[in-house]
Amino acid sequence: MAVGFVGLGVMGGPMAGHLLAAGNELVVWTRTPAKAEPLVASGATRAENLTELARACETVVVCVSRTEDVEAVVEGLRPGLQEGALIIDHSTIAPAAARALATSLAADGVSFLDAPVTGGSMGAKAGQLTVFCGGEPDVYQRAEPVMAAYSKRTALVGPSGAGQTMKVANQIAVGGALLGLCESLAFAQRAGLDLVQTRELLAGGAAGSWAFDNYGPKVLARDWTPGFSIANQRKDFGYAREAAGEVGAPIPGVDLVDSLLAVLDEEGHGDWTTAALFDLLARGVKPA
């Protein structure tokens, strides 16, 4: 049967494209129909609604934004889901919500794999994402061939919810790396250093990171197009606080970076890439 794909945004669109290029029969649905047009032109089928997509597909891949979005998608799919169907959710949602969805769907004979991704829009376009998976081993094995179309590495990290918990750990680290990049380059600019040379030299040494390699060029170009948006980063930080509260883990770095991104968000720039944090620090804005 066909593979269904729900959500064709900055991440989902390229991922679905890789599935189609790999020879899969692809059925797509998105809230914004225009986003499906390039895939339909390349051979995908557009479903009229989620229930129709579920009836046509044994495996459904979901890549939307928030917990409530995934819950709404699942409810839309549910009337058409067959016993034995598989949902692979690449959205970033609360770990507790992923566990609840897996339990609810299991009662209907449907498998659910929480499988958030990292690698950003660049990784999605290149088919080089890393996928953190939570679920049963047999469910992961069923999902592996599908995910291979757009990933460089997938890993089963534990039972349902563990994939989202690993994504929380990832986003905590991403926040710190983002602050390190932007704080460093904002300081270098104020001190009169050449930013191109600074970024090149620091990226090649102990200060180097994914952020220096991928967001450094955006800072130099003052290109604040996402990428990964401030609004999405702050959403993920909310899930991080929730998950950290459950286990009693302090995450002061998350609170600091979120307080800075909140300033840009409140200025109406929630759709800018997170690397725009440089702009704020270059202006001399300090944490509240």
**Active-site position among 35, 125, 152, 167:** 167
User: Cis omega (within 30 of 0) on the bond before 227?
Assistant: yes
What does DSSP say about strands 86-89 and 111-114: parallel, antiparallel, or unpaired?
A: parallel
Indicate the length of the chain as a whole number: 288
CA 239, CA 96: separation in Å to the nearest integer?
Answer: 10
Cα–Cα distances in angstroms (integers) from residue 49 to residues 31, 46, 275, in the given order:
9, 9, 36
Give, for 167, the enclosing helix (H) or strand (E). helix 162-190
Cα-to-chain-centroid distance, residue 49: 24
Q: Catalytic residue at 167?
A: yes
Tally of CB atoms within 10 A around 38 = 14
Please report how many Cα atoms fall inside a 13 Å half-sphere around the Cα of residue 142, on the Cβ side.
19
Taking a C-beta distance cutoff of 8 angstroms, is the pair 38, 16 a contact? no
Which among 179, 69, 170 is positioned nearest to 116, based on CA atoms? 170
Active site residues per annotation: 167
